[in-house]
Amino acid sequence: MTDRRWPPVIHSRGYDAYLCGVQILAGGDETPIYRFPGGQSLVDDSELKKPAEKFHNLMSIAWLEPRDLREKPELFRRLPVDWYKEIALHAMKSVSHRLGPDQFTHCRTDTAGWAAHYVTKAVFEEQDLFDPYADREFLEEAEKLLPWYIKRYVED
C-alpha cells in the first residue's frame, strides 16, 4: 500500500512494520495500520516518527564504526530509547563478532579492546536516554557480547 501521509515502513517494537491499510475512526479521522511480524496493528504518533530507513542507516554506522556511538554522539543522542538500545547492542555485537565474545572476558589493549571500551563508556557514562543498570534484559544481552567490559560497570 502507498499513502504519502505515513511512512511506508517504520521500525518500532523491535521490528520493521509495513503500512498495509487505513482504519476509519469515529468522526471520520483515519489512522494507519502496519503489519508487524505478529500481525497487523494500529500505531501511535510516536511510532510514526520512526522511519525504518533512518534506523537502518544508524545501525549501519554503528556496525561499521562502533566507536561512533561515543565519538559522534549527535547521531545517537536524540533517538527513541528503544532505538538507542538496539543500536548500542548492535555496536557491541560489531566489536564482539570479529573475535568472538570469549575474547572479551578480560581487558584488551588492542583496537578491539579500545572499541569495546568506547562503546560501553558511551552507554554507561555518557548517554542520558535510559538507565542501563536498571534494564536487566539489556545488561544480559550486552554481557553476552562484551563480558569483561560490561562486568566492570555492574560488579562491585
Q: What is the pLDDT along the chain (156 residues), one digit of tens a residue?
A: 666 889 999 999 999 999 999 999 888 889 999 999 999 999 999 999 999 999 999 999 999 999 999 999 999 989 999 999 999 999 999 999 989 999 999 999 999 999 999 999 999 999 999 999 999 999 999 999 999 999 999 986
> What is the value of pTM for the model shown?
0.90
Domain residue ranges in the chain: 9-48, 52-154
- Rounded-to-integer distance, Cα 59 and Cα 45, Å: 23
- Which amino acid, residue 109? T
- Rounded-to-integer distance, Cα 25 and Cα 136, Å: 38
- Which amino acid, residue 104? F
CA distances from 43 to 22, 37, 60, 92 (A): 11, 14, 25, 30
- Which amino acid, residue 99? L
